[in-house]
Structure 1
Amino acid sequence: MLRIWSPRAPFLPGPRGCFLALREQQHNLIRHWPAFRRTVTTDRSTQQPNLRVPLRKQLKDEAKSLKTQNRLKKGANRPPQHDGWELTVGIEIHAQLNAETKLFSKAPTKLAAEPNSNVALFDLAFPGSQPAFQSPILLPALRAAMALNCEIQPVSRFDRKHYFYQDQPAGYQITQYYEPFARNGFIDLFEHDGIAPEDGKKVRINIKQVQLEQDTAKSQEYPPSAQLLDFNRVSHPLIEIITMPQIHSPATAAACVRKVQSILQATSAVTTGMELGGLRADVNISVRKRDAAPGLGEYSGIRGLGQRTEIKNLSSFKAVEDAIIAERNRQVTLLESGGVVIGETRGWTIGSTETRRLRAKEGEVDYRYMPDPDLGPLFIDSQLVSALSDTLPDLPDQLLDTLVGPSYGLSIADAKPLVELDGGARLEYYQDVVDILQTLQQSHEVVIKNSLGRTVANWVLHELGGMLTKADVGWDSDLVPARTLAELIDQLLRKRITGPIAKQVLTMVFEGDKRPIQNLLEDEDLFLRPLSRDEYLALAEPLISANPEMVAQIRDKNQLGKLGWFVGQMMRAGEKGRVEAQRAEDILRELILGG
């Protein structure tokens, strides 16, 4: 029984005194319960409260509580009160193409130091200026569409989409709404892509169309009332990828955008992703009762779907997921309270918990689509499509299959970041290191490539990757050239140096040491000089004698993990760089376990 003592409780003899003391104790317990729960523990031997709790335990308990709260917050992805509702999401992804010029002018697309310096008369909608389609832009657009399994249309046409906003100087945007250059594609998402558990192991999202269109100006607000416009981005070539409304969870929607970005980067269709503003997403969201009778919804004419709203310009994968969660919750709450969802365009601010209304949702009539009279049809030759198809690089799914296959033998956890990081540059570096290392190891009787692949992945992702993170620098293969890392790992695998020495040398190279690995090891006297058996015994025996309790736990309770502590102590006590962890463990096993 836990006894609670309160210094404020008055002491009175008899039943009344006991009653008053108990009431005061209950009052204090209720009033101070959160703090009390963190600071009071019970000594099981005496069943008395211990009001002094170690700081480490308090911090550990608070961290555990915060972790639980975050897990519950993530659980909002599918809260119990929404189980009777089905979410439906369609996505429109806008990606800036890897092109040297604008879509309809020869103005450069490269980032300029000065605003409004990379513009042509047509970009600024000067009277009398006319669009001139730049045909090289079609190449990255076609690579993207084919990688998304789309059917390339032999003839496509441009439309004018009319709306008046300050970032659109012409009063209309040139796009391909009715006759796009690509249709009927799909993208497959798997467990390792981060789809929601309820979607199973694989889900296919169909792509309605991929269309060419021009980008708008970039606006910058200067409170309280100024807003400046940079027209360098106007008419930058975009593709808009429109999925079918087939996504039913926020996590899968974010995974879809992430997968599309990786595909576009793998084909060099784009040069930047969401993190640098080269890719943006609009999401269309609707909810409906799961047991509702089929009816005509307001979502692209799909039967049985609810009234949709659109959230514009989401600039991160997390924003996609969080905004969908917030809008789904808003719509369900509104419908359950007897309200009606209105078709509208809404906005999202990072860090918010609610979407906000921007304007009424425009329809086809509001945009007054019309064929662009200044641009003729776009004809795409089948031979061009065939040639591009033959030279299409491996896509992320194919690269993953190669890395986890027998050639490299990686886990999905290691293969995915190699494919996704740094636009493929990290993967290219990794493969270079493996190839060079395999050549260096040819003198060995047996060279197992997948064993080398796993070793190199550890050094590229964890050792070198950790240094990049700590130094807060972007990927640069020149910091540690591929041959340098391969030579360092080669020395380690040949047991000429120890693991700690290899990490020390990697740090030296990362920080600017340009000496070849062989010279560096010789100059710094870092080559391994193996200890004899007697020297290992001299390190191990005093440790075993001084720690009989740990020895008993290893021997009698099979707590083999404690061997690592003894190994660490031997490496600290021995001469730096000479104690080999595996040999130290072998000696310990022999002395403690008898074999």
Structure 2
Amino acid sequence: MARFAPAVLQRYLFGGQLLVRGCLRHMRHAPQTAPSLYSQRYHTTQIENTSSANAPDITIPFRKQLKDEAKQRKADEIGKKPKRDNQRLDNWELTVGIEIHAQLNTERKLFSPATSTINDAPNTHVALFDVAIPGSQPTFQKETLIPAVRAALALNCHINKTSRFDRKHYFHWDQPTGYQITQYYEPFAKDGYVTLYAQDGLAREDGEKIQIGIKQIQMEQDTAKTMSQPGDVHLLDFNRVGLPLIEIITLPEIHHPSTAAALVRKVQTILGAVDACVLGMQSGGLRADVNVSVRRRDAVGGHEYGGVHGLGQRTEIKNLSSFKAVEDAIIAERDRQIDALEAGEVIEGETRGWTIGSTETKRLRGKEGEVDYRYMPDPDLAPVVIGDDLIDHLKETMGVLPDQEIETLVEQYGLTAKDAMSLISLNDGGRAEYFYNTVESYLRNNPDEDMSKVGRLCGNWVLHEMGGLSHLDASEENPLNFTEAGRCLITTGKLAHLLDLLGKSKITGRTAKKVLNEVFESALRKVDETPQEIIDRLGLWFQPLSDQEYDELAKSVLDIDIVNQILAGKIGKINFLVGQMMRKDADGRVDAQQATAVLQRLIEEYRTN
């Protein structure tokens, strides 16, 4: 029997699409078989047309049905429990501290020469020490310090010249030694901060700018990756055990869920900008634990946490793997604690879990403390000594940080802060590189143009117009195949050429969008076609309207009531008429200024008559 690829079988089972070769050849005249199997196995919903008994059934794809069902479940859950204000609480204050675990961008693991990777075949990069073979010893890989110190400097931390490793004892299948090597008592960096601005996604209550303190940053090793299987079977991939991490511990100075998510997003952007951590949350290279507590606004006394007094009992939510999960988990745990306290219950210090799509956190275990982990200095590792020469070198070669780049994009290139933020965040910085190259290419042919004007023009097309391109043959996540170096399917030269034609009024904006899509589709087909060649082929060169055509178009939109309002002093109403003229012009040839002048002339003639 012939072997069919999974994608082929999937199309057969889920969509009734049959091959005309192999063992399915003789079934191609019986299309009812596959839809019947599909509907029975996956409960496909069909829409009945009551107006016609003979109308064909419309099958809803299984994937869409799952999404619709998930939305309905979420709506039902929201309906059962009133949703609180996500930010402001009148009687309660929320306090959050965050621990961010980021995988360092290194070739080797922290204490072994094994390759640092999580994408290769399981258990193919494992050294003796990684799996605690008796007699094996940890060997600190000095090169892991480079991205770690670079990250700490970017987060405005003080670098400790001497730091030490400690053992954090706990027993779990993902930690073969029975302890994790970390830096608890003497970390390599401390006393830093992250500045958040409104464009970073701050809660409105936090204003335009806040500063969140960083207590310390410590180096530590990652655990093995657990892959759960049906039947309570757990497989272990030791490729991940021993990977070098930094743990960034903030002070409990966050009071709104969206600000917490903004902080994690900002830290990820900073780490990526200095090449310290190249895998973000979406790739599993960054995870967050959040510590959540609430207290009455008029409460006095309380507990101490991280040097801050008067907080309520905190709980920890582990292993949050998306920005939305950070925000949603904090909201759910905050509401749970408030409900419990208002009911006269006591909040226990515990570790809790969060599942994407749920509405509440779940208890995992009691919260371990310092005594439970039995911290002790690691006797097999010497202190880590960092020299001033290394610190100075890394400071000098740091490069431009995200806040500095946003400032440049706003002040020199004329972008809004929101667009600048989006630009540096997309495609691992590749979209920003593409933007700079496009501006440079445009200015080569227009050296006298204002930089801000060119920046706004290019920014709009690079972000918004190109962001809307999609095709069945293109990748859903990255349709234009953007790279970190700023290359993509549409070269910067072609986009700059298109914008040059638009700026010189040789084509209209509507035509430019059509040509951009043609350039994109040509690139997918691996056809090298310039914007000018496409315009020639489709006959899209701009032909301005004649005076007579402007008059006829303007007269077709004139309304006596609006004309009377304009004559009565409501001058702004003329813009409405201009908009009507532009909508009637299917080819986009109406010039707004010329249309305004024609309308003003006709209205003045109406006044005199």
Q: Distance in 2 between matches of 1:95 and 1:391?
A: 21
| Amino acid of the structure 2 residue aligned with 1:77 | N
Summarize the alignment of residues 53-132 of structure 1 with structure 2, pairs less than 5 Å apart: 75-78=84-87, 83-132=90-139
Check if 1:347 corresponds to 2:353.
yes
Instruction: Return the match for 2:602 from 588, 591, 594.
Output: 591
Task: Give the aligned partner of residue 568 of structure 1.
Answer: 582
Q: Secondary structure at the match of 2:132?
A: coil
Q: Distance in 2 between matches of 1:580 and 1:434?
A: 25
Q: Distance in 2 between matches of 1:569 and 1:326?
A: 47
Tell me if structure 2 keeps the 8 A contact 1:112–1:118: no
Q: Deviations over 1:350-385 (max 9, x none)?
A: 122211110111111111111122211111111111
Q: Distance in 1 between matches of 2:490 and 2:363?
A: 50
Instruction: Return the match for 1:425 from 427, 430, 437.
Output: 430
Instruction: Return the match for 2:205 from 198, 206, 215.
Output: 198
Task: Give the aligned partner of residue 330 of structure 1.
Answer: 336
Q: Distance in 1 between matches of 2:605 and 2:425?
A: 48
Instruction: Return the match for 2:464 from 462, 483, 493.
Output: 462
Deviation, 1:175, is 0.8
Check if 1:481 corresponds to 2:481.
no
Q: Deviations over 1:524-544 (max 9, x none)?
A: 433323343234335444x24
Tell me if structure 2 keeps the 8 A contact 1:540–1:570: no
Classify 1:550/1:83 alpha carbon distance in 2 versus 1 (closer, same or farther; 3 Å): closer
| Amino acid of the structure 1 residue aligned with 2:602 | L
Task: Give the aligned partner of residue 438 of structure 1.
Answer: 443
Q: Distance in 2 between matches of 1:273 and 1:397?
A: 19
Q: Distance in 1 between matches of 2:532 and 2:394?
A: 45
Classify 1:501/1:310 alpha carbon distance in 2 versus 1 (closer, same or farther; 3 Å): same
Q: Distance in 2 between matches of 1:255 and 1:281?
A: 12
Summarize the alignment of residues 185-334 of structure 1 with structure 2, pairs less than 5 Å apart: 185-295=192-302, 297-300=303-306, 302-334=308-340
Q: Deviations over 1:381-420 (max 9, x none)?
A: 1111101101112112111211111x11211222221122
Q: Distance in 2 between matches of 1:288 and 1:562?
A: 53
Deviation, 1:465, is 0.7
Which stretch shifts more, 159-168 or 100-109? 100-109
Tell me if structure 2 keeps the 8 A contact 1:567–1:585: no
Tell me if structure 2 keeps the 8 A contact 1:528–1:577: no
Tell me if structure 2 keeps the 8 A contact 1:299–1:306: no
Tell me if structure 1 keeps the 8 A contact 2:304–2:310: no
Classify 1:310/1:578 alpha carbon distance in 2 versus 1 (closer, same or farther; 3 Å): closer
Q: Secondary structure at the match of 1:455?
A: helix
| Amino acid of the structure 1 residue aligned with 2:86 | N
Q: Distance in 1 between matches of 2:82 and 2:457?
A: 38
Tell me if structure 1 keeps the 8 A contact 2:553–2:581: no
Task: Give the aligned partner of residue 414 of structure 2.
Answer: 409
Deviation, 1:180, is 0.9
Bigger radius of gyration, 1 or 2? 1
Number of residue-to-residue matches in the alignment: 515
Task: Give the aligned partner of residue 9 of structure 1.
Answer: none
Classify 1:353/1:561 alpha carbon distance in 2 versus 1 (closer, same or farther; 3 Å): same
Tell me if structure 1 keeps the 8 A contact 2:518–2:534: no
Q: Deviations over 1:201-240 (max 9, x none)?
A: 3221111111111111111222331222222211111110
Task: Give the aligned partner of residue 532 of structure 1.
Answer: 546
| Amino acid of the structure 2 residue aligned with 1:331 | Q
Q: Distance in 1 between matches of 2:106 and 2:385?
A: 19
TM-score scaled by length of structure 1: 0.81
Instruction: Return the match for 2:503 from 489, 493, 497.
Output: 493
Tell me if structure 1 keeps the 8 A contact 2:111–2:138: yes
Amino-acid identity (%): 55
Instruction: Return the match for 1:139 from 131, 135, 146.
Output: 146
Q: Distance in 1 between matches of 2:604 and 2:279?
A: 57
Q: Distance in 1 between matches of 2:119 and 2:579?
A: 57
Summarize the alignment of residues 493-572 of structure 1 with structure 2, pairs less than 5 Å apart: 493-511=503-521, 512=523, 513-541=527-555, 543-544=556-557, 558=571, 559-572=573-586
Q: Distance in 2 between matches of 1:593 and 1:173?
A: 83
Q: Distance in 1 between matches of 2:528 and 2:600?
A: 41
| Amino acid of the structure 2 residue aligned with 1:314 | L
Q: Secondary structure at the match of 1:462?
A: helix
Q: Distance in 1 between matches of 2:297 and 2:580?
A: 60
Classify 1:428/1:188 alpha carbon distance in 2 versus 1 (closer, same or farther; 3 Å): same
Deviation, 1:145, is 0.3
Tell me if structure 1 keeps the 8 A contact 2:104–2:246: yes
Tell me if structure 2 keeps the 8 A contact 1:205–1:243: yes
Q: Distance in 1 between matches of 2:426 and 2:194?
A: 20
Q: Distance in 2 between matches of 1:469 and 1:563?
A: 36
Q: Deviations over 1:481-513 (max 9, x none)?
A: 112111110111011111111111110111124
Tell me if structure 1 keeps the 8 A contact 2:167–2:182: yes
Q: Deviations over 1:255-300 (max 9, x none)?
A: 11111111111111111211221111101112222222224x1534
Q: Secondary structure at the match of 1:256?
A: helix
Q: Secondary structure at the match of 1:365?
A: helix
Give the gaps of 5 or more residues in structure 2: 1-74
Instruction: Return the match for 1:371 from 371, 377, 402.
Output: 377
Give the gaps of 5 or more residues in structure 1: 1-65
Q: Distance in 2 between matches of 1:551 and 1:424?
A: 51
Q: Secondary structure at the match of 2:129?
A: coil
Q: Distance in 1 between matches of 2:602 and 2:452?
A: 35
| Amino acid of the structure 2 residue aligned with 1:450 | S
TM-score scaled by length of structure 2: 0.79
Task: Give the aligned partner of residue 392 of structure 2.
Answer: 386
Classify 1:96/1:509 alpha carbon distance in 2 versus 1 (closer, same or farther; 3 Å): same
Task: Quote the RMSD (CA, aligned, Å).
Answer: 2.5
Deviation, 1:121, is 2.1
Q: Deviations over 1:234-257 (max 9, x none)?
A: 111111000111112222211111
Deviation, 1:552, is 5.8
Which stretch shifts more, 396-405 or 529-538? 529-538
